[in-house]
Structures are given as C-alpha cells and as structure tokens.
Amino acid sequence: MSPKLSPEAGPGEPGVELFTRRSDFEDALARFAGPGRRAVVMTMGALHEGHASLIRAARARVGAEGLVTVTVFVNPLQFGAGEDLDRYPRTLDADLEVAAAAGADIVFAPPVEEVYAGGEPRVRMAAGPMGERYEGASRPGHFDGMLTVVAKLLHLTRPDLAFFGEKDAQQLALIRRMVLDLDFPVEIVGVPTVREDDGLALSSRNRYLSARERSTALALSRALSEGREAGRQAAAQAPHSLSSPGSLSSPPGPEAPDARDGSGGLAGPARVASPRTVRAAARAVLDAAALLEPPLVLDYVALVDPSDFTEVADDHTGEAVLAIAAKVGDTRLIDNVRLWFGVA
C-alpha cells in the first residue's frame, strides 16, 4: 500500500489504492501524510496511453512527495440523445494497471449513486455561449454535464493541480474559464495530445475504425500539419513583425512536456502567420478527404481563440487553436493543434 495513506485504505493494484465509496475516499484524503501537493486526473475510464501521459505529467509536477488521484467515472450528464451510455466501455481492472504503472496513488471510481446521491442534480453548471459552439452545437448539453461533474470532482478531490488533455481543446478551454470565473483554487494544466505512429490522435474511438476508415481519418492530423506548415512559411516570409504592442514575443512551450508524449511533432504552439493561409491549407486537405472512399464527413474546421472559442480574425495575434471534427463511417473524431500568430 502507498506509504502516504494509512493501512485502512482499500485494496487495489500494487502501488495504487482503489476507492469506490465517497466516504472512504474522503477519509483517505484526510489521512494523506505527504508534504507535497495534490493532483487529479479526471477520466471516464478505458484508460490508454493518452491518459497515462496525463498521470505521468501529474506525477512529475507534484513529485514523489505529492499525491496523484485518478478519477474513473462515466458521467451520465455528458451523454445526450443517441449516445449510448450503457455501451461505454468499463474496464476498471485494466484501468488500475494503467494508473499504477503511470504513477498514480489513488483511483476513485464511484458508482453513479455515490456522485449523484439524490438523483440527477437539480442545479447544474451552465457552459453558456462558449459551450454552444462547435462541439456544443453537435452535442447539446454535453458541456453543461461535463462542467457539473468537473466542478463536483474538484470539490471532492481538493487538488492543487488538475490535468486535462489538449486533444479536447474546447473542454479544456471551458474548464479554464469556469475555474477563472468562479474562483476555484486550482491550477489547470493542459497536456499535449498523444498520437499513434501514423499521426492519428490517440482515442478509445480509434478501435472502431476499419483499415480503410483509418486511412481516411489520417486527413485530420494531416490537415493540422499542412495548416501549421503553411502558417510557418507565411511567418518566414513576413517582412516585419506582426506582433501587436504588449503581446508576447514568443509562443509558450508545452505546459507539461513528456518525452514519451508521442505528439508526432504537433505538441506545443508553433509560431505562424496569416490565419487566412492556415485555414485554406487545412481546408484543402479536408476537401480532398471528402472524395475518398470511405469519405471524411466534415463537421467543422475552425481557427479559434482559446479564451472564448470564437473564430479569430485575419489580423489575429497571439495564441489560437486550429480545431477539426469529422466522421469517418460511424466514428466521430476530433483533433487540434495550438498555433501562435505573430513573428519577431
């Protein structure tokens, strides 16, 4: 058992303690004996290398003396009409192994009745207009449910830092907005997207792709790469600085670098220029993929300000996110890359 917790903690895989009851989990937090900080990684289970990268990043930030909690909870409030909650994979035994290997101390995996003891909550978080665009338009109510459970789990886990993947860019932006606007005492840390060897962003949904569908799906990461490269070339050809007064002179690096992030060269924001050029290059790849068999069916491609997820203007300077959502066959995929507009 973890030396940071008393022997009263429940059994789990070696090196990680499993709790399913809220009262037991809260007791374990109270018994935490370490002088370090607390970190949380929130998941819906079915853990893969992407989740492991979040846990490793959390462990690196809090150090050996800190406490890393992984939550595993399939949140019914995030599932809308036509989204089959019952079919969502539950793989707790395998999840415990992944969490332990990546460096977690605690896994909190409560049933629905432990999280929503009185049934579905009558008062919920509202994502507002920022949550009604893009992913929110495709999945109405999804972000309200997501923010509600994130807020609840932040209260329950009481972390100093919470780690989320950059792959879910709009989710990350909304969580940051909620924490800022409502004064949650926690630092939100984004972790670069993990990619498979062919560049496809790692997702539990990838398992549903046939070989031909996967070939088409690679257009998402290819569109991001082409958009990024076109923006880099535009920046290299710019005759003078495009940075506005007071803007940062260089892009920030990845928040939680990990030598094993498998980012395929898309981790961290690249210095680029010309939103118009970036959009056109990405769209050309996606338009070509729409003619493949099977075709890529585009939901949206957007170049947005991460602070509010509104489309950026052609003279934008500072950070932006190039985000794509599309379906291949019956599988819906999302991907994005961070960019930094303005040249020194």
Radius of gyration of the chain (CA): 21
Residue 51 a catalytic site member: yes
Give the integer Cα–Cα distance in Å for 25 and 304.
39
Helix locations, the chain, DSSP H = 22-31, 49-62, 92-102, 112-115, 135-138, 142-157, 169-181, 211-217, 219-237, 275-289
- Do 328 and 210 meet the contact criterion of CB atoms below 8 Å apart? no
From the candidates 48, 51, 142, 316, which is the catalytic residue?
51
Residue for token pair 């920030």: 252
Half-sphere exposure of 23 (CA within 13 A, CB side): 2
What is the side-by-side strand order in the sheet with 38-43?
17-19, 106-108, 67-72, 38-43, 161-165, 187-191
Question: What single letter denotes the amino acid at residue 62?
Answer: V
Catalytic residues: 51
